[in-house]
Amino acid sequence: MKRSKRKYQKISDNELASYFKDNSSNELLSEIYLRFGHLMMGTCLKYLKNKEEAEDTVMELFEVLPQKLQKHTVEHFKSWLYMTTKNACLMRLRKKNIPSQEIDERIHAAPEEINTKFLEEEKYSTLEEAVENLKEEQKTAVRLFYFKRQSYQEISKNMNLPIKKVKSAIQNGKRNLKLKLEKNDNFKSA
Amino acid sequence: MIILNLLNRIFGHRGSLSRDEISSYQKKKNTHDIEEKSLSDDFDSDAIDGWTDSGIPIEEMSSLDEMFQSKYNSSVWSSSTILFFTLFFIVSGVILTFTYTSNQHDETQLVEVKENRQPNTIIPIDAIEHSTSEEDKVINSLETISKEKEVQPSSLKRIASTSDSDKSDTIQNTPIDQVTVTISPEVQSNIPVEENRNTLVYHFVDEFYLHDFKLIDYRKFRDAPIKKRKLVPAGTPADQEYYESEDQEDFVWKDIDISYVDYLDETMSYFEKSNYKKALKRCNVILTTYEDDINAHFYGGLCYYNLGQYEKAITHFEKSYNLEFGNFRQEAIWFKAKALIEMTELEKAKQLLQQIASENKFYAKEASSLLQKLK
């Protein structure tokens, strides 16, 4: 029966994967394409640096997705799709003999969840302290980005650093911040 | 609340980036918000890197869309969808033709809607609004002013003041009931007041925050709902639609009632996203129901300001505070001064800036430094 609406529109990302166990209709693939096609394409562009190759890789991925999803039980669909996409790019690069590092498909990072007990205002000092203990570069970048809401470009100008460095300082700062807060048992993983 | 927001912004799960967001990012709009969202997931982060570094506009996804569509003959863009859209527009068209034959604007709106419903831009039905007034046409033709001059919505947010002690003091103070202002003779003309008084008492009323923007809390006083024209489905209920999908849904224009707070909430979300035209139209709708609504005057004024309509902005700023509701007084005077500078009415602007500087509040420092520059 054909429907005029997106049948799977309201299904969560993780549930989408489980639907493949029973069937692998084009509607299901379309839903994935609508949600993640542009992210897959962007990721392929990042690693392959070529539009045609990126397009081919995305199309190839959609061909193998149904079998892969029927074979594996995927808990965190978005992370899984990211790893699968990234691996497909790296495989392609390897074929061209460009050295690269493969990523273990089993590592599916779960979305972070904030422990409710941390959501008390008095814990603000803990966060401040954690930020304060970051390395100078990361500290400044994190402060400007999250507290002052500046963009990468503005921070790059203010700190006189290339945008790439700004981004990695924020990413690393965020990771270190999480580690520091985890030490204090302020987080749990989903 | 602030810490909760902050933690959620740093570590919270934010959902995936949409094509529209990547497109905005490539056009250098809302850069910080999109960067922040992309940092919540490596997939989004890599994707935005790919699109940005390659310099390929995301609109070029259309070639991949076509490949995908031809291979999977996607049901999302299937013939039944095309049939659905065609019928949808015919029905809407017929209703509009009969209801609004005299109004040319409605027809253009219908064309816009049709364009928006093309396969690659999926817009929810409730995003389709209907507007008819002359003022709306004028608003549609306006352009946002340059980035440097634009008042960034984020700069007005409560959270923005977290690390700035001056600002946080002002905003997070326990509510002040009233503030007394002494008016010097040279600025008297700028404030609506009887001539023989030189001291005014501005009362502060309860405030609340939506999307972190300060607003007057009218909730106890706003009973009348805001009327909104909307395309609503008529016919098969949604839960039965699955079983009777052969019946096409009909859509009709209907006046629906929305509570003041809900309407304001959505308006502020447009303002937050720098969608000034939409926010402004909605402020004007609020003003047709509540003509002296402080919130609509103040944020409507800011929208006009960011759209380069300084005269109109000033009119709204002037109406955004009075003796009864003094909450937005400082901000209104500050932005009025800035609008006057844009209109090169420097003398009037200087008077206002002096007034702000002398009151030693939120914008005092900025006013002083601006005064220095003007001299």
pLDDT tens per residue, range A77-132: 899 999 999 999 998 888 876 555 544 444 444 444 444 444 444 456 677 888 88
The verdict on B165 and B188 lying in the same domain is: yes
pLDDT of residue B173: 40
Which CATH architecture is the domain A112-189 placed in? Orthogonal Bundle (1.10)
- Determine the residue of chain B that is closest to A190 in CA distance: B13
Residues of B in contact with A146 (CB under 8 A): 6, 9-10, 36
Structure tokens at B255: 């006046």
The verdict on B264 and B252 lying in the same domain is: no
Of A180 and B343, the one with more pLDDT: B343
User: How many CB atoms sit inside 10 A of residue B220's CB?
Assistant: 7
State the Cα–Cα distance between residues A118 and A136, nearest whole angstrom: 25
pLDDT band at B206 (very low <50, low <70, confident <90, very high): confident
State the Cα–Cα distance between residues B180 and B185, nearest whole angstrom: 16
Q: Among residues B58, B86, B105, which one ends one of the domains?
A: B58
Mutate to test the interface with B, among A59, A146, A181 (most CBs of B within 10 A): A146
pLDDT of residue A54: 94
pLDDT in tens, B220-266: 777 777 777 666 666 655 565 555 444 455 566 777 778 888 889 99
- Is the separation of the CB atoms in B298 and B333 below 8 Å? no
| Phi, psi for B129 (deg, rounded to 5) | -110, 160
State the Cα–Cα distance between residues A69 and A19, nearest whole angstrom: 9
Chain A with chain B: Cβ pairs closer than 8 A: 182
End-to-end CA separation in angstroms for chain A: 37
The verdict on B35 and B176 lying in the same domain is: no
State the Cα–Cα distance between residues A123 and B236, nearest whole angstrom: 51
- Determine the residue of chain A that is closest to B87 in CA distance: A4
Task: Provide the β-strand partners of residue A98.
Answer: none
The verdict on B253 and B168 lying in the same domain is: no
pLDDT of residue B124: 34
The verdict on B245 and B197 lying in the same domain is: no
A4/B249 touch (CB, cutoff 8 Å), yes or no: yes
A62/B72 touch (CB, cutoff 8 Å), yes or no: yes
Residue B54 lies in a domain: yes
For residue A181, pLDDT beyond 50: yes
For residue B370, pLDDT beyond 80: yes
pLDDT of residue A185: 63
Single out the residue of A6, A4, A23, A10 nearest to residue B244, CA to CA. Answer: A4
pLDDT in tens, A67-76: 888 888 888 8
pLDDT of residue A53: 92
The verdict on B99 and B234 lying in the same domain is: yes
pLDDT of residue B158: 74
| ipTM tops the 0.90 cut | no
pLDDT in tens, B287-335: 888 888 999 999 999 999 999 999 999 999 998 988 878 889 889 999 9
For chain B, percent of residues with pLDDT exceeding 90? 16
The verdict on B182 and B36 lying in the same domain is: no
pLDDT of residue A89: 92
The verdict on B252 and B333 lying in the same domain is: no
Structure tokens at A77: 């669909």
- Is the separation of the CB atoms in B96 and B107 below 8 Å? yes
State the Cα–Cα distance between residues A39 and A47, nearest whole angstrom: 13
> What is the rounded average pLDDT of the residues B179-196?
44
If you average pLDDT over every residue of chain A, what do you get?
Answer: 79
pLDDT of residue B41: 86
Residue B272 lies in a domain: yes
For chain B, percent of residues with pLDDT exceeding 70? 68
**What single-letter amino acid sits at B27?**
K
The verdict on B211 and B322 lying in the same domain is: yes
If you average pLDDT over every residue of chain B, what do you get?
Answer: 74
pLDDT in tens, B65-114: 988 888 886 544 555 555 666 777 788 778 777 666 555 444 433 333 33
Residues of A in contact with B1 (CB under 8 A): 121
Residues of A in contact with B6 (CB under 8 A): 127, 146-147
For residue B138, pLDDT beyond 70: yes
> What is the rounded average pLDDT of the residues B35-54?
89
pLDDT of residue B176: 43
pLDDT of residue B160: 44
- Number of domains chain B is built from: 3
pLDDT of residue A2: 38
The verdict on B363 and B265 lying in the same domain is: yes
pLDDT in tens, A131-160: 888 888 899 999 899 888 889 989 998 888
* Fold agreement (A13-95, A112-189): no
The verdict on B21 and B164 lying in the same domain is: no
Residues of A in contact with B243 (CB under 8 A): none
> Domain boundaries in chain A?
13-95, 112-189
The DSSP secondary-structure symbol of B129 reads: B
pLDDT of residue A3: 39
**Residues in Cβ contact with B276 at an 8 Å cutoff, skipping those fewer than 6 apart:** B144, B270, B302, B303, B306, B307
Q: pTM of the prediction? A: 0.43
Of B242 and B203, the one with more pLDDT: B203
pLDDT of residue B175: 43
- Is the separation of the CB atoms in A145 and A170 below 8 Å? yes
The verdict on B204 and B317 lying in the same domain is: yes
Is A7 an 8 Å CB contact of chain B?
Answer: yes
**What single-letter amino acid sits at B296?**
A
Identify the domain containing residue B190 by its residue range: 153-222+260-374
Of B347 and A42, the one with more pLDDT: A42
A1/B68 touch (CB, cutoff 8 Å), yes or no: no
Nearest-neighbour CA in chain B from A122: distance (Å): 9
B61/A41 touch (CB, cutoff 8 Å), yes or no: yes
pLDDT of residue B174: 38
Residues of A in contact with B2 (CB under 8 A): 121, 124
> What is the rounded average pLDDT of the residues A3-30?
76
Class of domain A13-95: mainly alpha
